[in-house]
Amino acid sequence: MESHGLEQSGSNQTDQADEVKAKEQGEASTACHASFAHKDPTDYFTQLLGKDSYYPLSFQETLDKSVNASIARFTGGLSPSGLSAAYTDWAAHLVTAPGKQIQLFEKALKKAIRLANYAGFCAPGVNPEAASPCPCIDPLPQDKRFSGEAWQKWPYNLFYQSFLLNQQWWYNATTGVRGVTPQHENVVEFATRQILDLFSPSNYLLTNPELLEQTQKEGGQNLQRGMQNFLDDLQRMLNDQKPAGTEGFQVGKNLGITPGKVVYRNRLIELIQYDAVTEKVHPEPIFIVPAWIMKYYILDLSPGNSLVKYLTEQGFTVFMVSWKNPNHDDRDLGMDDYRTLGIMNALAHIDKITGGQPVHGVGYCLGGTLLSIAAAAMARDGDERFKSLSLFAAQTDFTEAGELMLFINESQVTFLEDMMWEQGYLDTKQMAGAFQLLRSNDLIWSRMVHDYLMGKRAKMNDLMAWNSDATRMPYQMHSQYLRQLFLNNALAEGRYIVDSRPIAVSDIRVPIFAVGTERDHVAPWRSVYKLHLLADTDVTFLLTSGGHNAGIVSEPGHPRRRYRIATRKHADRYQDPDTWFAEHETQDGSWWPELADWLKERSGDLIEPSFNMEIKPICDAPGTYVLQD
């Protein structure tokens, strides 16, 4: 990957480098726009991913990209050719698999007989004194659509039983076909499941007994409220407004209100400093790198569930990156820009404030992956500024990155690149659509039933409000991220290039505290656990209950929280994740105290606060970048 060579010297040199870079990019951007103004697409230049030079797009290439970008508006960013290739692969192999066809026919016949027998026992007036028959099939543990008592009565029990049997048959039909690539099999199974979920009896008034009961009880008022909710959501969508209820949550007023100061700013980040609230402090500060896909304040939500506030109460000075929300002008910012501007420049400024104290690095999600890249490059180059690393729901190996991999193949990435090429970034709505598909039952259909048919609004909370406050991602950075990490797994395989040389996670020798969450659809915990195979140091792995976000926001006193934790010393043998899970019992409560204790054990004795008073803050937290739409 191309390095832009920003130095880690004082802020004046850093700012000058930023200005020179911004000027160069501004001139390049002006030239590009001028070429289009003269209707000459061959003069438009874009950077080849993984290359060090620029090349002109031909008219034919420009035309192809424009067509794909236009199609993407109607498909939500999903590649039609990728989906059709998957179904073609599956269908072609199924046609030439008579044994599989016979098996599917036998399964269909058995399911039909079971359903017919069940229907015979359940029919009104038949065997009134007989015990209720056992269902033909039970829903999966996470499927709560048919758990209500009303679903066990005729005819609704037949509705949901036939639906689940049909869903199970299609799962058998789309999996286990010999010769189909694993990627295509996963795509076909996932897409078919999404189509079937559309026809779930829980989604419709006449086939959902709970909806019918509610409608009868309220005389249809629930449907009236649901229509009002639908029209309100439609208006908000058309006007590009945030969801209903978010008005009660505002950054700087009741979100992200831990006292702090913006002490550094460049074109990509603001660096916020939060002083410890204790009389004496640990000499090593904490440096948090959140994901740039969302706003930083998930780690500083409300005062009662702010990780930043909790750490300052434990005697730590905390620095946190607040990412800018990029726009079209930032289209050419790449992964190395995020490393240099977001981490290296921030570390240089923290050095000046603290007098060169080593730092506890903390990275969350994409921020954790970027922090791993920066730490590996620093370790390679003999830079010892990190005292420890803590990685929250962050992946370093992407071979088993969960259902997100359904959207990551050559066809899909090319399609996304063409879409981003036209607009200069990946829009928040386009990202949200992919994440919602991963949990369509919870995030799409259940919400539609609850809001539009039940006529009820889920009460907004701080985490939901934060979740609606997404950011864009620059074209260049996101393309490089998808190709180098997801497609090529370059970081795990020692082929990720920083400053013209490859880096290796195994070069990191400081202790690591890694956190996975049990129900993570973005960074599955077994994927996070793969760090054990890469790191050549002590790794403390903690698995907490909850999902990608709620599992991390797990303050002391939060009900029903639990976790497992164990440390693998550098010389210990590897233990696979399932064995690890079975051998370590759960502990009740928040995992934050475990993190605080771990950091304290690796910090120096408490001292009086001592900072460089010559460095003046720019403004109060939460700063300005977090407020950008």
In the set 32, 134, 136, 365, the catalytic residue is: 365
Q: What is the 3-state secondary structure (H, E, C) of 324-387?
A: CCCCHHHCCCCHHHHHHHHHHHHHHHHHHHHCCCCEEEEEECHHHHHHHHHHHHHHHCCCCCEE
Q: At 318, which helix (H) or strand (E)?
A: strand 318-323
Do residues 529 and 568 make contact, with C-beta atoms less than 8 angstroms apart?
no
Place of tokens 């016949």: 109
Rounded CA gap, 162 and 274, in Å?
A: 57
- Pick the closest to residue 565 from 550, 582, 546, 586 (CA basis): 586
- Pick the closest to residue 58 from 44, 70, 39, 48 (CA basis): 44
Rounded CA gap, 466 and 624, in Å?
A: 16
* Amino acid (1-letter code) at residue 421: W
Q: At 286, which helix (H) or strand (E)?
A: strand 286-289
Q: Is 365 a catalytic residue?
A: yes
Rounded CA gap, 92 and 88, in Å?
A: 6
Residues 6 or more apart from 282 whose CB is under 8 A from it?
A: 276, 315, 316, 317, 599, 600, 603, 604, 606, 607
Please classify residue 471 by burial: count the beta carbons closer than 10 Å to its beta carbon, then call 0-12 exposed, 13-18 middle and 19+ buried. Answer: buried
- Pick the closest to residue 514 from 526, 497, 500 (CA basis): 526
Phi, then psi, of 623 in degrees rounded to 5: 85, -165
Overall size of the chain counted in residues = 629
Do residues 504 and 380 make contact, with C-beta atoms less than 8 angstroms apart?
yes
Rounded CA gap, 575 and 568, in Å?
A: 9
Residues designated catalytic? 365
